[in-house]
Homo-oligomer: A and B are copies of this chain.
Amino acid sequence: MTKIKESSTYNANREIVLQECPVTYVMNKIGGHWKPIILYHLLSGSKRYSEIKRAMPHISEKMLIQHLKQLENDNLLTREAKPVVPPYVTYTLTESGKELDSVIKAMSMWAFKDMKRNRVEEPVC
């Protein structure tokens, strides 16, 4: 987990904007390339670590746990580890996390519309 320097101008700006815009508030929680996709996969139900990994073949393990931890810190999902060997860890969306489905759905609907408009072939997701 890369640590974040608090003293940069970037972060100063971000904090100011955070106080001013709900959209930025959301982007700070689900922004980036991987977080929305993780959420997307968890919206269909709780999943084991390895299940998520298999569902997203192109993410590195480092990125996956890193974002899972961030999402956990942001109260979007919970982690449950059964003390067995081999380890059995499941990730489940919280209420906050589940309510994001309206956002994810709005995004998906817009995406499909826009792909059609720009004649991009539709994906299988």
A interface list, Cβ under 8 A from B: 13-14, 16-27, 29, 31-33, 36-37, 40, 58, 75, 96, 99-100, 102-115, 117-118, 123-125
Complexed CA–CA distance, A69 and B112 (Å)? 23
CB distance from A112 to the nearest CB of B (A): 6
Copies of this chain, tallied across the complex? 2
Q: Check A110–B104 contact: CB distance below 8 A.
A: no
- Nearest chain-B residue to A109 (Cβ)? B102
Q: Is the interface of A mostly helix, strand, loop or mixed?
A: helix
Q: Check A26–B75 contact: CB distance below 8 A.
A: no
Residues of B within 8 A of A104 (CB): 23
Q: Check A75–B118 contact: CB distance below 8 A.
A: yes
Interface centre among A18, A20, A100, A103 (most CB of B within 10 A): A103
Interface centre among A16, A20, A22 (most CB of B within 10 A): A22
Set B21, B33, B99, B117: member contacting A125, Cβ < 8 A = B21
- 18 pairs, A vs B, C-beta closer than 8 Å: A16-B58, A21-B37, A21-B123, A23-B36, A23-B107, A23-B111, A24-B33, A24-B36, A24-B37, A25-B115, A26-B107, A27-B31, A27-B33, A96-B114, A99-B113, A103-B107, A105-B106, A106-B106
